[in-house]
Amino acid sequence: MDLFIIFFSISIAIASLSNIYPQAFWFEGVRYQLFSIIFFFVGESSTSKDWDFFDKSIIPVLVVCFIGLILYITSPSWYVDFKLSGFTDNEGGRFLEMTRLSAFWTYPYWVSYGSGIIYFYLLFKSYKKGRITTKIAFALIFLAVIMVLAQQRAPIAFVALITLTLLVNSLFNGQKRSFSTYVLFLLLILVCCISIVFSFLDQERLIFMLSKFESLIEGGNASFLKERTNIFSDFYSKKITFWGDGIGRYGHEAYYSGKMAITDQQYLKIMYETGYFGIICYSIFILLVVIRGIRNFKDNLFELGIIFFYLMAMTGANCLSVTGQHCIVFWFCCGRIFNKSCLTYKCTSCYSLQKD
C-alpha cells in the first residue's frame, strides 16, 4: 500500500506539470491535497497505535468552539467587520455565513468538522465503556449545539446517524444496554440546551436559521445534491482526460484569481484535475482501506466511521484539498487501519480508552 500511495501521488504531481496553467495553482494542489497524504504514514506508524492523537485534540477543539460561541452570541463590531472582510460573494451569501458560528474563520468548516470528529470520538469512547460520564456528557451536548449553530449538513447528519446507530445497537446488546439510557437522557438535555441558546439570538438570525433547517428537512438530500451539482454545471461540457487538467487547477487559488473553479465538490474536483488515473487510484485506495477495515470491523469502528463521514462530506465540500476541513484526520484514520501495532493494541487488554 505504501508504494502504491507514493506512486500515484508522484504520478499526479509530475503529470500535472505537463499541463499549461499557473504554477501557483499546481503548488496549492500539491501542498494541500497531496502533502496531506503524508498523514497516512503517520497513522500507519507504530507510534500512533494508541489514542493520544485524538485525546490531545479534545481540549483545543472545545476551547476554540467556546470562544467561537461567545463571539457568535455577542457579535462585537470588530468581529463582524473581520467576518465581512472575508467575503467575496453576494449579499445573500454574506448573510448566510454571518448566521453561522465559525469562530476565527470566515467559513465554519474547521469548527463544524472538528466538532463532529470529537463528538464521534467521545461517543465512541462512551460506547466502548457502556456509560457516559458527566464530563463527556457536557462535552457532547456542547459540541452538538456548536454543530447546530454552524449549520453544516454533513457533520449534523453524521453525528445524528452515528448516535442513532449506536443507540439502536446498545438496545439489542445486553452489555451495552445502559449506554442507551445515557444517550436518551442526553438527547433530552440537548433539546433543552439548544432552546436556551436560541433564546439569546436576535429574531432575524433565528428566523433565517430555522428556515434553512426547514428547507433541509423538506428538500432532502436529493435536492441538496442537485443544488451542489448545478453550481458547477459549466464543467459538464468539458472533456475528462486520462491524466486530468492538473492538480490544483480548479482549487481556491483559481477561484480567487477569477478562473473556473470547483470549490465545493471533491469528487468532481478529482475527476477533472487528476482525470481517469486519479479516479482509478483514489477508488482502489479507498476500496482497499474499507475492505481492510471491515475485516476487523469492531476494532476499526471509529476509523471506518471517520472515513464514511468524509466520503459523505465530499459530495458538498473539498474535504481532501483544504486543511481547514481536517483532511489529515481522514488520512490518519486510513493509516491506522493498516497499522498492525494499532490493531494489536486494540485487541489486547490494555485497550481501554482510559482518558475521560
Q: Which residue has the cell 456548536?
A: 146
Q: Which residues contact 190 (CB under 8 A, 6 or more apart)?
A: 140, 141, 144, 145
State the chain's maximal CA–CA distance in angstroms: 62
Residue 226 host element (H or E): helix 203-231
Would you say 285 and 40 are in contact if contact means Cβ atoms under 8 Å apart?
A: no
Q: Which residue has the cell 485525546?
A: 55
Q: How many CB atoms lie within 10 A of CB 276?
A: 13
CA distance 315 to 131: 34
Confidence (pLDDT) at 122: 95
DSSP string, 274-314: HHHHHHHHHHHHHHHHHHHHHHTTTTTHHHHHHHHHHHHHT
Confidence (pLDDT) at 202: 66
Question: DSSP letter at 33?
Answer: I
- 168-223 pLDDT, tens digit per residue, is 888 777 666 677 777 777 777 777 777 777 676 666 666 666 666 665 555 555 55
Q: Which residue has the cell 465530499?
A: 314
How is the chain split into domains, by residue range?
2-347
Q: What is the pTM of this model?
A: 0.88
C-alpha cell at 112: 463544524
Q: Please report, in tens digits, the pLDDT of each residue of the chain (356 residues total).
A: 899 999 999 999 999 999 999 999 999 999 999 999 999 999 999 999 999 999 999 999 999 999 999 999 888 888 888 888 766 555 455 666 678 899 988 889 999 999 999 999 999 998 888 888 889 989 999 999 999 899 888 999 999 999 988 888 887 776 666 777 777 777 777 777 777 776 766 666 666 666 666 655 555 555 555 555 566 767 777 888 999 999 999 998 988 888 888 888 899 999 999 999 999 999 999 999 999 999 999 899 999 999 999 999 998 889 999 888 999 999 999 999 999 999 989 887 555 555 55
**Average pLDDT over all residues of the chain:** 85
C-alpha cell at 47: 507510534
